[in-house]
Chain A
Amino acid sequence: MTLAAHEVRWSAAGRLIVDGVSLEAAPGRILGLIGPNGSGKSSLLRLLCRLRNVASGVVKLDGRDIAGVPRRALAQRLAFVEQQATTEMQLSVCDVVRLGRTPHRAALASWNGADEAAVSAALERVGLSERHDQPWHTLSGGERQRVHIARALAQEPSELILDEPTNHLDIQHQLSILALIRRLGVTCIVALHDLNLAALFCDEIALLHGGRLQAAGTPEAVLTEETIRAVFGVAVSIRPGASGRPHIEYLVATDRPAEEGA
């Protein structure tokens, strides 16, 4: 086991956002976190990497409570990719990826061969080696997300946490980001909006609703017509798709009212 949450709770402004969630990420596999807007996905991810502190419950990394792990040691294990982090600083692609070496370097240590190798390897894995010196603000949304993933990989984490990495990307870039994540071989916990993409790319899925865990397990077990109707309030029909994974079709009336005189 790697990263596991047990009965974690967290509230903000007097409202319970995450309400007693327990889940576990299996080593080397991809755990998808799905749920409607405001279901607590982002907050749960932030609790898992201690960007917020749990109000009760415990998050364990290899059986050790992360509340007692120094911030820097934690960052050597866990990397976090935000939804759409951007900057006004004039940075190049490699400047951003180099930030991933922060937890591995002492305050006054100079840049060394191991750091450089990690940065090159990370850029190679996301397919941006050629963009090494390109200014950050000239990149497209999909490229920026790739650079963030490269920055996270430069941390050499054993667990990677991603908060809706495909948000605001066109479908081609959504697919390529998720295919990239699948190829990494790192334990991933990823929040996703699109149910079909979650079914296609995740090994396990956890479904959140109102801060509570509604279901967890394989995509087939979690994505059922009843659960989706209950949680998302939409009628669906689910069949195995061409990939063998469940494919969700939304059942909605799409007829337009007949126009006068038509």
Chain B
Amino acid sequence: MSHAAHGPNWPARIGLALLAFVALAVSVTLAVTIGEMAIPFEVALRALGNGLFDLGLPVSAIQQGVIFDYRLSRALMAGLCGGALALSGAILQALLRNPLAEPYILGISAGASTGAVAVLILGVGIGGTALSLSAGAFVGSCAALAVVALLSAGAGGASDRVILAGVAASQLFNAATATIVTTLASAEQARGVMFWLLGNFGGVRWPDLWMATPVALIGFAICMLHAKALDAFAFGADAAASLGVAVTRVRVVLFATTAVMTAAMVSIVGTIGFVGLVIPHAARFLVGSGHARLLPACLVTGAVFMILADILSRVLIPQQILPIGVVTALVGAPAFALILYRARNPA
């Protein structure tokens, strides 16, 4: 197997890229056609043609609206969000050398939602536009990262302390969110804020994608540029430095990238747990630990997983939409337990 990996193996790469594309296309198709209103595939195609190229094909206005403005934007957002969170998880696991690290468990998502909620409720006068909301989320996620870094450094900096620090940070920021909501929010605002606590793709519209797409793709590009450096962290920061990696610069760039990706996603869809944890492990199982393969695998697997999870959240209970975080937690919590168990009992 490792001999096949020497040098670029173009047929295998092209095959994997095709496979990834097909998996994404199939899951988006499913997301567009499945739902309260079942829509045949060819109607979905016609609606897509109308929406993208203004073809004027015969589709009822309701179906056109449901497919193009509601389900397609929602599916693409779910894909971007799943990909970005999985990527963030893979980066955090490599940099912190802890298999349990991910934005949700480390409190970065909680920090981002505190920031978003603070902007939404305290900054009403400025106007809760998407941009300032994301800026608030970004400040919050950076603050959470800083709290985690300080706490874990104070506790000796060992990689298992990072998770404890993350738990503390998430409690802290969730408490801050709850304080802001209970003391300052109107009843209507409070209902809206519930949206951030478990994640929701319901409010997604096309303009959200104009922000999320560049963030996810540029974030992915930055991570890919550091794939070799991430491999070098396998034996710790000193080992990485002795292999010529500029440890501090790589950490700052990648932590910031993770914070921005998480903040962007949280500001649009709220906090969604466990995706960043489960997907990198599944992807490692599929393509191995080398980050040059792992990171693209995380992006695609995360996207497919989240799109499918979103379909489940819509159809699991008729007439109701489950928060997406509930679905990911149903899959993620057992996976978390499994990883925890395996980390305690190395083979």
Residues of A within 8 A of B (CB): 46, 49-51, 71-76, 78-80, 82, 85-92, 94-96, 99-100, 102-103, 105, 107-108, 110-112, 116, 132-133, 137-138, 155
Q: Mark B205-228, 1 if CB is under 8 A from A, else 0.
A: 000000000000000000001111
| Contact status of A95 and B290, CB under 8 A, knowing A51-B238, A82-B235 | yes
What distance in Å separates the Cβ of A253 from its nearest Cβ neighbour in chain B?
Answer: 40
Q: Are A82 and B6 in contact, with the CB atoms below 8 A?
A: no
B125 at the interface (CB under 8 A from A): no
Chain B residues with CB under 8 Å of A91's CB are: 234, 289
- Whether A90 touches B231, Cβ cut-off 8 Å, given contacts A49-B242, A85-B236, A103-B244, is no
CB of B203 within 8 Å of the partner chain: no
| B5: chain A residues within 8 A (beta carbon) | 111
Cβ contact within 8 Å between B243 and A112: no
Say whether B6 contacts A89, CB under 8 Å: no
Contact A75 B231, beta carbon cutoff 8 Å: no
Closest to B347 in A: A137
- Give the residue name and chain of the B residue nearest to A106 (CB): B228
B interface residue numbers (CB < 8 A to A): 1-2, 5-8, 97, 99, 225-229, 231-232, 234-236, 238-239, 241-246, 284, 288-290, 343, 346-347
B244 in contact with A137 (CB, 8 Å)? no
In the complex, how many angstroms separate the beta carbon of A61 from the nearest chain B beta carbon?
14
Q: What is the minimal beta-carbon distance from A146 to any residue of chain B, in angstroms?
A: 15
Given A90-B284, A110-B7, are A78 and B242 also a contact pair (CB < 8 Å)?
Answer: yes
Q: Which residues on the B side are within 8 Å of A50 (C-beta)?
A: 241
A80 to B99, CA, bound (A): 26
Given A71-B244, A103-B243, residue A133 in contact with residue B1 (CB < 8 A): yes
* B235 lies within 8 A of A85 (CB): yes
A102 near B7 with CB under 8 A, answer no
Tell me the smallest distance from the CB of B236 to a CB of chain A, in Å: 6
Q: A82-B239, A92-B2, A95-B290 are in contact. Are A71 and B245 (CB under 8 A)?
A: yes
B2 contacts A132, CB within 8 Å? yes
A76 touches B8 (CB 8 A): no
Write the nearest CB–CB distance from B318 to chain A, whole angstroms.
42
A130 CB to closest chain B CB, in angstroms? 14
What is the bound-complex CA distance between A76 and B235, given in angstroms? Answer: 18
Q: Is the CB of B225 within 8 A of A80?
A: no
The answer on a CB contact under 8 Å between B234 and A99 is yes
Q: Which of B232, B239, B288 has the most CB of A within 10 A?
A: B239
Return chain B residues, CB-CB under 8 Å to A105: 228
Q: Judging by beta carbons under 8 Å apart, are B289 and A90 in contact?
A: yes
Q: How far is the CA of A46 from the CA of B242 in the complex (A)?
A: 9
Q: Would you list 28 pairs from A and B whose C-beta atoms are within 8 A, ordered by A residue?
A: A51-B242, A72-B244, A73-B244, A75-B243, A82-B235, A82-B236, A82-B238, A85-B238, A85-B239, A88-B343, A91-B234, A94-B2, A95-B2, A99-B231, A99-B243, A102-B228, A102-B229, A102-B232, A102-B243, A102-B244, A103-B243, A103-B244, A107-B226, A107-B227, A107-B229, A108-B225, A137-B347, A138-B347
Find out whether the CB atom of B289 lies under 8 angstroms from the CB atom of A51. no
The interface residues of chain A lying within 8 Å CB-to-CB of B284 are 90
The residue in chain B whose Cβ has the minimal distance to the Cβ of A152 is: B242
Which chain A positions have C-beta within 8 A of B228?
A: 102, 105, 107
